[in-house]
Amino acid sequence: MAVAELTSPAASFAHNYNNAHRLRSSQLYVPSSSCLSSDHFRAIYRSRVLPRITCSVNQVQNSAPVQVETPKDKAECYGVFCLTYDLKAEEETKTWKKLINIAVSGAAGMISNHLLFKLASGEVFGPDQPIALRLLGSERSIQALEGVAMELEDSLFPLLREVNIGIDAYEVFQDAEWALLIGAKPRGPGIERADLLDINGQIFAEQGKALNAVASPNVKVMVVGNPCNTNALICLKNAPKIPAKNFHALTRLDENRAKCQLALKAGVFYDKVSNVTIWGNHSTTQVPDFLNAKIDGMPVKEVIKDDKWLEHEFTEKVQKRGGALIQKWGRSSAASTAVSIVDAIKSLVTPTPEGDWFSSGVYTSGNPYGIAEDIVFSMPCRSKGDGDYELVKEIQFDDYLRSRIAKTEAELLAEKRCVAHLTGEGIAYCDLPEDTMLPGEM
């Protein structure tokens, strides 16, 4: 977009404002939407990289020199979020926790459009937890990302203290304590699964390196972009300074889908369904475990006495729910995925209810189930609410469950061989099983 440079009085107003309000940078940037009227300068924009004041060419009445705006290659605070705030003063009336930085990639995408507003509302980290959102886009999406930031501004969330947008992961992931990695290329017609693994794998290799370099050393990483298990593996292999245990691949949506189907069949509301594990890959080989799941505290198999339905209809419905939804909606699950990301984070920051557990795709290192080591595999977890988790030990297996787990495990091992060039493990060799599909594929 074309922009024109402005000089005073805007610039001098900005400088005065800066001094009066102790802005944290001496360089100010008024984005293209802010022009001429002093009212517009109530919101002062701050930047370490763009010291000039700009506004859209079509709003300029005098003949200022025209420049082409270069894409932003640094993360910048956005709009009202550039203003200094004083948490100390607020602490006199409220008990705030220390601000946390949450980085989100694919921030202009459909899932993020639901998720960001949930994060900012306090629904995820609690009503006493102020947050800073650090949003990663690309040259493709930077305009849309500004739109997202504008909507966040207009929502007046008291807990949302900072919003930075940018296209460089090394800038955006700075000091991140949570990284929610959503952005990935969707699989379109004509794209082979192996190609998708490579294209998206490169994104996650790069983002792993960036997290390793600039994020908080104990950052918790939730990989959503598909194929999420193997993307999470690639990401953690490229981030050796961050504990592998901190990486998760989102399988909570699958758990939620399984709970809903069990509730429907049993004729109970879904709050009665617990202890549901999704084993393995977020793909159509995933295994929704009905052997260990409970309905109203009873084993599912004692409530639903129909093994054929459990082994076939139920299992396939959960595995292919994503595809069924795409057929109805014309696009993949976004709102329910955002809800499941909220659930997944809350499961790590609040203690797991006694006797229950939750599913997450986690790194298999010393797992008690005999699953191959060194992959990201969805398993049953419990948390004390400190952001960490332990695997659940008291799990039963039967032949059916073992054989299904072996199939999804084989698929993940094949995916791992396909991305060896991205995990630092040599030359890739891709022999994916024929039927390997994302849940959204039919």
Ligand X SMILES: NC(=O)C1=CN([C@@H]2O[C@H](COP(=O)(O)OP(=O)(O)OC[C@H]3O[C@@H](n4cnc5c(N)ncnc54)[C@H](OP(=O)(O)O)[C@@H]3O)[C@@H](O)[C@H]2O)C=CC1
Ligand Y SMILES: O=C([O-])CC(=O)C(=O)O
Site residues (CB under 6 A) for ligand Y?
226, 253, 322, 332-333, 438-440
Distance CA 133, CA 172 (A): 9
Let me know: does 417 contact 375? Beta carbons within 8 Å.
no
185 binds ligand X (CB under 6 A): yes
Q: How far is CA 145 from the centre of its chain?
A: 15
**Counting Cβ atoms within 10 Å, is residue 346 exposed (0-12), middle (13-18) or buried (19+)?**
middle
Should residue 288 be labelled a site residue for ligand X when binding is judged by CB under 6 A?
no
60 binds, among ligand X, ligand Y, none (CB under 5 to 8 A by kind): none
CB of 338 to ligand Y, least distance (A): 12
Rounded CA-CA distance 121/361 in Å is: 26
Q: Residue 92 has which token pair?
A: 């006199």
The entry of ligand Y, ligand X, none near residue 138 (CB within 5 to 8 angstroms by kind) is: ligand X
**DSSP at 314:** I
Question: Which of the listed partners (ligand Y, ligand X, none) does 130 bind, with a CB threshold of 5 to 8 Å by partner kind?
Answer: none
Site membership for ligand X, residue 140 (CB under 6 A)? yes
Other residues' Cβ atoms within 10 Å of the Cβ of residue 75? 24
Q: What 3-state class would DSSP assign to 125?
A: coil
Beta pairing class for 277-279 and 273-274: unpaired
The listed partner (ligand Y, ligand X, none) that binds 97, CB under 5 to 8 Å by sort, is none
> In angstroms, what is the minimal distance from the CB of 225 to ligand Y?
9
Q: At what angle do helices 399-418 and 193-214 cross, to 10 degrees?
A: 80
CA 242/CA 217 separation, integer angstroms: 6
Q: Binders of ligand X: how many residues, by CB under 6 A?
A: 26
Q: Mind telling me the catalytic residues?
A: 282
360 lies in the binding site for ligand X (CB under 6 A): no
Residue (171 or 415) nearer to ligand Y, CB: 415
Nearer to ligand Y, 333 or 352 (CB): 333
Rounded Cα gap, residues 332 and 243, in angstroms: 31
Rounded to a whole number, what is the largest CA-CA distance in the chain? 79
Q: How far is the CB of 44 from ligand X (least distance, A)?
A: 26
Q: Considering the rule CB under 6 A, would residue 347 count as an interface residue with ligand X?
A: no
SS3 at position 181: strand
141 interacts with ligand X by CB under 6 A = yes
Query: Contact between 280 and ligand X (CB under 6 A)?
Result: no
Among positions 23, 28, 203, 295, the unique one binding ligand X when judged by CB under 6 A: 203
Alpha-carbon distance 437 to 439, whole Å? 6
Task: Select from ligand X, ligand Y, none the partner in contact with residue 129, using the beta carbon and a kind-dependent cut-off of 5 to 8 Å.
Answer: none
Of residues 139 and 296, the one with the C-beta less far from ligand X? 139
Site for ligand X in 221-260 (CB under 6 A): 224-226, 228, 250, 253
Q: Using CA atoms, how far apart are residues 23 and 14, in angstroms rounded to an integer?
A: 10
Report the residue number, 288 or 439, with the smaller CB distance to ligand Y. Answer: 439
Expressed in percent and rounded to 5, the helix, strand and coil fractions of the chain are: 40, 15, 45
> How many angstroms separate the CA atoms of 144 and 19, rounded?
32
Angle value at C-alpha 431, between 429 and 437, nearest 5 degrees: 125
Partner whose binding site includes residue 208, from ligand X, ligand Y, none (CB under 5 to 8 Å by kind): none
Contacted by 184, from ligand X, ligand Y, none: CB < 5 to 8 Å by type: ligand X
Window 89-108: residues binding ligand X (CB under 6 A)? 106, 108
**The binder of ligand X chosen from 31, 166, 183, 288 (CB under 6 A):** 183
- Of positions 337, 352, 364, 383, contacts ligand X by CB under 6 A: 337
CA angle 180, 75, 83 (to 5 degrees): 105
Closest-approach residue to ligand X (CB): 109
Residue 160 pairs with which residues in a beta bridge? 131
Which CB, 34 or 229, lies closer to ligand Y? Answer: 229
Of 218-226, 271-279, 303-311, 425-433, which part binds ligand X (CB under 6 A)?
218-226
| The two three-digit tokens of residue 326, written as one number | 């795409």
Residues that bind ligand X (CB under 6 A): 106, 108-111, 137-138, 140-141, 182-186, 203, 224-226, 228, 250, 253, 282, 332-334, 337
